[in-house]
Chain A
Amino acid sequence: MKSGAPVSNGTEPMRAGPIGPPPGAPRARVVAGLNLVAALVIVGLMLLPLYWAVVTSLKTLQQSYAIPSSLVPPTPTFAAYSEVLHTQGGALATSLVIAVGATLLSLLIAVPAAFALASFRFRITGIVTLVLLVTQTIPGIVLGISFFKIFADVHLLNSYPGLIIADSTYCVPFDILVIRAFMIGLPHELIEAARVDGASNLGALLRVVVPLSRPAILAAALFSFLFAWGDFLFALTLTTSDAVVPMSLSIYKYLGEYTSQWPDLMAAAIFAAIPSGILLVLVQRGIRGGIATAGLKG
């Protein structure tokens, strides 16, 4: 923030708010340059822990213990990555299955509900929306404790369906809210036109509304996937054996056994971070493009 100080200089009467000056003026360009430098420093500071994770993952175990630690990997090696693929590969696959399952289950329930709440007039629409909002505030540990007991009775502990169902709980209300907000903006004439052509509600949903709502559905799907992929609490509470071990739990167990195997642990963390990276790129490009072209393609 320091190099941005000239902007906040109170004696400069041209700028009173956090709005940049018109680009082009030489002084403005200097200010913009200083802001860019400051922004790079801020981003650098925020991402410093991640830089350190990458550096450590490329070190050997001995190098990771060395004092003073070197700020770049002295002899970059991918040994930790191949080791982790070997030991954690199965857990990554498990998490992938669970995350895909939870995403599909969530959308299967959320899309029709969002359509109904956006298109039809229910007397309970207000209360349903309120309940959906409130669900997001329930502490995960409350569900974790209850699910453990309930799932034990119905034999869903240590199972893929159990974790898929548990991981989809927070996603279903979230998806409904996100997709409904988008669907409300769609022109109702489209659905009516579809009905004139003889389509049922289901036909209108599948042939008209879903294709048009693709950006919102995609966004909901990505966040559901990310939630289920990263879930730790349900993995921890709803497994009692090694039958189904998702990535987060596997890394936690690994941490418990080999506390200071930092290169391996960081390589595992980076594998676990891949979906977040993909999401970030999509947020930057894909989703925005998807939103811009959704109507055209639909």
Chain B
Amino acid sequence: MWRETAGRAERIGGVPSATAGLPNRVATRRAAARRPDDQADATRERRHRLWQRGVAGGRRWLFLMPAIVYVCLLFAYPIVYNVLLSLRQSSVIGLLNNSAGFVGLSNYHTAITNPVLPTVVENTALFVVGSIVFQFGIGFLLALFFSQRFPLSGLLRSLILVPWLLPGVVTGLVLRLMFDPTSGMVNQILSDVGLIHTPIEWLTNTHLALLTVVLANIWIGIPFNMLLLHGGLQDIPKELYEAARVDGAGRARTFWSVTVPVMRPVIAVVLVLGFIYTLKAFDIVIILTGGGPVNSTQLLSTWAYTLSFGNLDFGQGAAIGTIMMLISLVCALAYVRSYRGELRR
């Protein structure tokens, strides 16, 4: 889509330009655009030309500076601040006096030996793995399904995106109603088909609450997975399927021998992004259960919030936040690697 526009702009911009030799270069670059491998070279060459002419000048930094300052002030500084906070005494009085001294890793020690921690880690693991497996699986099936040609497929596919586009508070509220014991649709349907006779307390039963929160998060995550995987499926050259057909491969064989290998970089990106986003999940849990009942849906993210703003123990909250950040960072590096692989393709 983007490239098409660039092509249009090029046609329109190329005509009135007075620069000598321009049409020739445009033609060269059009040819290059047809060969993706050469396009990167063409881009590099073009930039290099510009560099040599010195057109850019020293003032080009002025365009980038605000963003660099902004990212330093609003990402780098808070991240460092968070780490420092996690190393300071966390008592309320100490913080109020602004005299909180450094206490080394004591906040980490307190957090790790906190009797709630095993529950929180287990909840987070179940939440992340359960969400990703089903978001990805269902998302992939839907992406395959919507790759077929049938009327209205584009419109219906974009309608599936709705749960993903809604604000977290809205999805949280809507799902809280769905699972409400009396006004909810889930219990209504289950009792209509005779599966249950007394209403199920989906969100207030300690054994069911986590399952319910995972179900809710799966619903939110399916569209995102479907969107990216569908995009990847569209980029698979049709010739590959033709070749598989000629070789007499069945549908399952084609899927495992053509679709999956070709899609591997996309699948990697989807899974890593899914992990990072699921680990960050916050709104939906706070709205649905607030981490309760009795911490049965408490995740690392909501626990960091509860420790900080509920118990006013910012040191411990920051320690949990730092641990989350480290987990995310490891994944981010994996993400960047797969992203780069994606670009090279």
Cβ-defined contact, B8 with A294, below 8 A: yes
Q: Does A198 contact B (CB under 8 A)?
A: no
Interface of chain A, main secondary structure: helix
**Among the listed B165, B166, B240, B305, which residue makes an inter-chain contact with A141, where contact means beta carbons less than 8 Å apart?**
B305
CB-based contact B251/A116 at 8 Å: no
With both chains docked as a complex, state the minimum distance between the C-beta of B270 and any C-beta of chain A, in angstroms. 15
Contacts of A78 in B (CB 8 A): none
**B106 at the A interface (CB under 8 A):** no
Cα-based distance from A111 to B255 in the complex (angstroms): 42
Q: Map CB proximity to B onto A105-131 as digits: 1 under 8 Å, 0 otherwise.
A: 000111011011101111000001011
The contact string, 1 if C-beta is below 8 Å from chain A, for chain B 201-217, is 00000000000000000
Proximity bits, A129-159, B CB within 8 Å = 1, else 0: 0111111111111111111111000000000
Check if A16 sits within 8 Å of B249, measured CB to CB.
yes
A236 and B301 CA atoms in complex are apart in Å by 14
Which residues of chain B (62-89) have a CB below 8 Å from chain A?
A: 62-64, 66-68, 70-71, 74-75, 77-79, 81-82, 85
Q: CB-defined interface of B1-32 with A at 8 Å, one 1/0 digit per residue?
A: 11111101111111011110010011001000
Q: Which residues of B contact A265 (CB under 8 A)?
A: 173, 177
Count the B residues whose beta carbon is within 8 Å of the partner chain — how many? 131
Closest A residue by C-beta to B48: A121
B-side contacts of A122, CB under 8 Å: 60, 64
Chain B interface main SS type: helix
B325 touches A138 (CB 8 A): yes
Task: Please give, as numbers and ranges, the residues of chain B lying within 8 Å of A291 by CB-CB distance.
Answer: 1-2, 4-5
Q: Which residues on B sit within 8 Å (CB–CB) of A190? A: 9, 13, 17
A120 and B185 form a contact (CB under 8 A): no
The answer on a CB contact under 8 Å between A32 and B149 is: yes
The interface bits of chain B over 125-136 (1 if a CB of A lies within 8 angstroms of the residue's CB, else 0) are: 000000000000
Chain B CB within 8 A of A79 CB: no
Q: Which residues of B contact A252 (CB under 8 A)?
A: 169, 286-287
Q: Is A36 an interface residue (CB 8 A)?
A: yes
Per-residue interface assignment for chain B, residues 83 to 106, with 1 indicating a CB less than 8 Å from any chain A CB and 0 otherwise: 001000000000000000000000
Chain A residues with CB under 8 A of B339: 133
**In the bound complex, do residue B182 and residue A65 qualify as a contact, i.e. CB atoms below 8 Å apart?**
yes
Within 8 A of B (CB), among A277-298: 279-280, 283-284, 288, 291-292, 294-296, 298
In Å, the complex CA distance between A31 and B304 comes to 51
Q: Could you tell me if A187 and B156 are in contact, using CB atoms closer than 8 angstroms?
A: no
Number of contacting residues on A, CB 8 A? 128
Known: A10-B251, A187-B6. A52 touches B177 (CB 8 A): yes
From 250 to 298 in chain A, residues with beta carbon under 8 angstroms from any chain B beta carbon are 251-252, 255, 260, 262, 265-266, 268-269, 272-273, 276, 279-280, 283-284, 288, 291-292, 294-296, 298
Can you list 27 A-B pairs, Cβ within 8 angstroms, ordered by A?
A: A10-B252, A13-B248, A18-B233, A39-B145, A46-B160, A52-B185, A113-B64, A113-B66, A120-B60, A134-B336, A137-B276, A141-B280, A144-B305, A145-B304, A145-B314, A148-B309, A165-B74, A169-B74, A172-B67, A172-B71, A173-B75, A181-B2, A193-B18, A196-B19, A226-B167, A291-B2, A295-B11
A residues neighboring B (CB under 8 Å): 1, 4, 7-8, 10, 13-21, 23, 31-33, 35-36, 38-40, 42-43, 46-50, 52-53, 56, 64-65, 67-69, 108-110, 112-113, 115-117, 119-122, 128, 130-150, 165, 169, 172-173, 176, 181-182, 184-190, 192-193, 195-196, 201, 205, 212, 215-216, 226, 229-233, 236-237, 247-248, 251-252, 255, 260, 262, 265-266, 268-269, 272-273, 276, 279-280, 283-284, 288, 291-292, 294-296, 298
